[in-house]
Copies of this chain bind each other. A is one copy, B any other.
């Protein structure tokens, strides 16, 4: 099999994938190997010593949330004694936005890829402002996480079960026709999710207060669908992983210090380089100086042909991440240069329903020097603060150069 054939097989798996959001469950119940002293995080592997501020903040919050410590000083001491293990979400078929911290008792969405049988997981979106994923861990942040665990996830889970599962491929296809790129803009997708689930929520909720609270959660959060979209992209890209001879990128992820990628034909290896600092628009009171380097597993959306790759479909996003509607179109057009195929299921109306650019080829990236574009949220570089803006970034070319070298070494 030639490299091109292997890449066609890999991207065909992406196109054939049928991710369905089937339910919610505590992470430890569905993620094999999950335990109380294991904290999953976004991006490639990293030690506590090298973690950036927002990831450290989220880790401390995770320790407190699991009841392993009474305050942040105790939590930090516990971590420094080595009593907490760290691993990338990606090693456990999971993805998490920004810090991506996922602990044993946190509820996760379960996405099933009905074409291939593999599953993927992602936490529930916490909403805006001071939230764990941006490194905040105050009492109100933890209180919100407990409500997600005790009320929101079980209520959503029952509704999802009754619905027979939410067809995420169809939902993503619709949102791409409604001005979302599926990463930083998920307004239409979140509204569709709320509308689709509402009747099932009404049929399965036994407490009307909880029902109203969950419907309010869905009504107030334009990112509610981001986490299911991410898990769907993870399920799609896992189906494309492990094809011998393929140079297609199946994962791009950042831990706030390093940017890392994995490649279909290169097994479990990560190819990493220092993460760049995103450039974008900042909330009042914050500036570029407050920005942490790039962080989060949400680049799984770009990896699967969404996010900045689908930006032509989402011209209104420039009000949030900066740039112009022309830049949005150019972003997508440029990404066709470094990808293997187009996903006809995700047709972009503005480009005459051309499918989103899909399947980044490390060879094309290195040959053209065009690195993937990424839309992203921006975290404050200190722990405990939260989101300060949103913007645009690219991974370091070095990740792709290393991958090409490693690939070359596998050739006879």
- CB within 8 Å of B: which of A159-207? 174, 177-180, 187-188, 190-192, 194-196, 198-199, 201-203
CB distance from A162 to the nearest CB of B (A): 11
Which residues of A314-334 have CB atoms within 8 Å of chain B's CB atoms? Answer: 315-316, 318, 324-325
Contact between A218 and B202 (Cβ–Cβ < 8 Å)?
Answer: no
A255 to chain B, nearest CB (A): 33
A77 within 8 A of B: no
Which of A12-20, A43-51, A208-216 forms contacts with chain B? A208-216
Q: Is A349's CB within 8 Å of the partner chain B?
A: yes
Set B174, B198, B212, B216: member contacting A219, Cβ < 8 A: B198
Contact among B188, B219, B325, B349 for A196, CB-based, below 8 A = B219
Size class of the contact patch on chain A: 20 to 34
Q: Which residue from B218, B318, B352, B353 sits with its C-beta under 8 Å from A198?
A: B218
Are the CB atoms of A316 and B195 closer together than 8 Å? no
- Name the residue of chain B whose CB is nearest to the CB of A347: B316
Q: Tell me the minimal C-beta distance from A72 to chain B in angstroms.
A: 34
A143 at the interface (CB under 8 A from B): no
Tell me the bound Cα distance from A324 to B352 in angstroms. 7
In the complex, whether A410 has a CB less than 8 A from a CB of chain B is no
A191 nearest in chain B by CB position? B191
**Interface pair B178/A188, CB less than 8 Å apart:** yes
Give 1 or 0 for each of A131-174: 1 = CB within 8 Å of chain B CB. 00000000000000000000000000000000000000000001
- Is A199's CB under 8 angstroms from B179's CB? no
Q: Is the CB of A350 closer than 8 A to any CB of chain B?
A: yes
* Most B CB within 10 A of own CB, among A187, A202, A203: A202
Known A195-B195, A350-B325; judge A202-B188 contact (CB<8 A). no
Residues of B contacting A178 with CB < 8 Å?
178-180, 187-188, 316
Contact A179 B349 (CB under 8 A): yes
Q: Which of A332-364 contact B (CB under 8 A)?
A: 349-350, 352-353
With A179-B179, A191-B188, A352-B324 as given contacts, are A212 and B203 in contact (CB-CB < 8 Å)? yes
Beta-carbon nearest neighbor of A194 in chain B = B195
A177 and B219 contact, CB distance less than 8 A: no
Chain B CB within 10 Å — which of A174, A216, A316, A324 has the most? A316
Would A202 and B212 count as touching, CB distance under 8 A?
yes
Give the B-binding residues of A (Cβ under 8 A): 174, 177-180, 187-188, 190-192, 194-196, 198-199, 201-203, 208, 211-212, 215-216, 218-219, 315-316, 318, 324-325, 349-350, 352-353
21 residue pairs of the A-B complex, CB under 8 angstroms, read A178-B178, A178-B179, A179-B188, A188-B188, A188-B191, A191-B191, A191-B192, A191-B194, A195-B218, A198-B198, A198-B218, A199-B212, A199-B219, A202-B208, A202-B212, A202-B215, A203-B208, A203-B212, A315-B350, A325-B350, A325-B353
